[in-house]
Structure 1
């Protein structure tokens, strides 16, 4: 969990997301050591492609990391479509961080 906390802190040092969702986590069978992560970052607006690059450069993870980045409008539109990848993330993922209203 410490690795995930550090990654979350790295994300928060680069941007102010609406939410960060953990939707994929692989661990070794024998030791349960973290092998890789998949995170979704939802931001209010902006260039998600550029932000994804900035995040990858800022995150100091010792495990492979996959990032999906959406604007709030994209997230709302895509999660309304039940068959979308974003909707699957919303159903299966665990919210690690959510901006307080």
Structure 2
């Protein structure tokens, strides 16, 4: 799991501002779960791409917290994030969740 301090750095939130710490932590956990379920791969904190995908998901979800919007394509992931997720899903370098569990 990406540490709260790393997520706050990525979000450009000062360490002494703690009012959203619980939210940011839960978004980080949700991002790991989303990444694992979307790719079928086990999360590996050593992977720079997986960490980047989690940070980008947290940033996207943190900045877009409203339940509705008038913007178009707001539910689409950015192309750069889609590319990272697709790469992780297709690459043999990342073990599947089943392989990692054994």
After TM superposition, the score normalised by the length of structure 2 is 0.28
Relative to its length, the structure with more helix (as a share) is: 2
Structure of greater Rg: 2
Relative to its length, the structure with more strand (as a share) is: 1
